[in-house]
Amino acid sequence: MKRIVFMIASRRLEVELEDDFADYVSKDLLDNKVSLERDNEVSQLLQLYLKTIHKEYQSEEQIKILLNNIEDSN
């Protein structure tokens, strides 16, 4: 388990995640300009959350299409 610590609106938050997932989360946060060393705006994290939910939505839609294609081919 790895610990990730970051600040949101002057509040220190700490999470423990599985090693591989923690690496993925850290990289994603940094790629999206979320600092692990200084305070972050709530709006910035909300935008990142919405971006992530949108990716999940798109993935679910793709899965539905693939499942329909498999069912139609049977």
Cβ(64)–Cβ(72) below 8 Å: no
Residue 66 pLDDT level (bands cut at 50, 70, 90): very high
Whether residue 1 has pLDDT greater than 90: yes
Cβ(36)–Cβ(6) below 8 Å: yes
Residue 74: the pLDDT is: 75
- pLDDT tens, 19-63? 999 999 999 999 998 998 899 999 999 999 999 999 999 999 999
Residue 65 pLDDT level (bands cut at 50, 70, 90): very high
- Tokens (6 digits) for 60: 């679910």
* 8-29 exposure pattern, b = at least 16 Cβ within 10 A, e = fewer: eeeeeeeeeeeeeebeebbeeb
Q: What is the 3-state secondary structure (H, E, C) of 18-65?
A: CHHHHHHHHHHHHHCCCCCCCEECHHHHHHHHHHHHHHHHHHHHHHHH
